[in-house]
Structure 1
């Protein structure tokens, strides 16, 4: 990874496993719209330049702990989603993207409303989505599922202890009533 990621602050045990940006081919749509607009209105230069600047100033990074997205031409916005918060990953490829080999990878989080982050125009989006999905499953398996299994076992143990206490209480009450009934019959 030769690109400088001065915007990225990683933990000591965190490492970059994939990095990318929107593919150059994803600019073809801007060219398709921009070139005729240059000839007709002169505004096509703005369309092409803004798409190019957006592509050049967008970076995506998948680390061993999460996904990062940096955007911004004049300012910088960095978004991070940790793997334990990811609910779903998916990808989509349009007709032009299918021909040129790029598409979008979408990430949804638990408790979020829809897609929280989109990695737009990445090369081989299916491979990126699979790698991301594997990382998420691995991270959630190490933390979430193991913790869930332990907490479920703890809850079941508590329920079992409570049921035993209720049964002992009912047995004691039944025995007490049985002794009281025998005393009443003897009189």
Structure 2
């Protein structure tokens, strides 16, 4: 069971989980390729990158937006849907060409929730906005 599923409150349900784009795995692939000339030393870095990505969760429920990181420890960024003021997309040329980007959710208060290297950021923005601003 994922952290997002474990942390659901009464009446809360998962609306969408946001996968990382395959570009997020490039550092891990680079460390694996560099393992040949470094006699396997960089495999530890590749393993770290793999675990870091495997233990990251990003999603939206009918009550909040959640970003969870951490292999052994846990760090979460959460924002209630009622607190969301803007959902912004940051997508460079490469992101537009390959379909990845950063989605920044700004709300009332101090912190933002930032989904980096997210797959199809426009769909993520639409999903968050459709849950936070339901029609009807």
Shift of 1:53: 1.2
- Superposed CA deviations along residues 69-91 of structure 1, whole A, max 9, x for unmatched, are 11111122233210111121112
Q: What is the aligned residue count?
A: 134
Equivalent pair of 1:26/1:97 in contact (CA under 8 Å): no
1:131 matched residue in structure 2: 127
Question: Equivalent residue for 1:117?
Answer: 113
What does residue 5 of structure 1 align with? Answer: 2
Q: Is the 8 A contact 1:91 1:103 kept in 2?
A: yes
CA–CA separation in structure 2 for the residues paired with 1:74 and 1:96: 32
CA deviation after TM superposition for structure 1 residue 29, in Å: 4.1
**Which is richer in strand?**
2
RMSD of Structure 2 on Structure 1 (CA): 2.7
Give the unaligned 5+ runs of structure 1: 143-187
Q: Which runs of 4+ in 1 moved over 6 A?
A: none
Match of 2:85?
A: 87
- The alpha carbon displacement at 1:13 in A equals 1.8
> For the structure 1 residues 110 and 104, does the alpha-carbon distance in structure 2 shift closer, same or farther, using more than 3 Å as the test?
same
Which one has the bigger helix percentage? Answer: 1
What CA distance in whole angstroms lies between the structure 2 residues aligned with 1:105 and 1:83? Answer: 15
- Counterpart Cα distance in 2 of 1:78 and 1:90: 20
Q: Equivalent residue for 1:16?
A: 14
What does the per-residue CA deviation read over 1:23-71, in whole Å, with 9 as the maximum and x for residues that have no partner? 3432124434x25643258653233222211110001120111111111
Query: For the residues of structure 2 that align with 1:76 and 1:99, how far apart are their CA atoms?
Result: 33
Are residues 73 and 92 of structure 1, via their aligned partners in 2, closer, same or farther at CA, if it must alter by over 3 Å? same
TM-score, length-normalised on structure 1?
0.60
Give the whole-Å Cα distance in 1 for the aligned partners of 2:51 and 2:95.
Answer: 20
Q: Which runs of 5+ in 2 are unaligned?
A: none
**Counterpart for residue 61 of structure 2:** 63
Structure 1 residue 95 displacement after superposition: 4.1
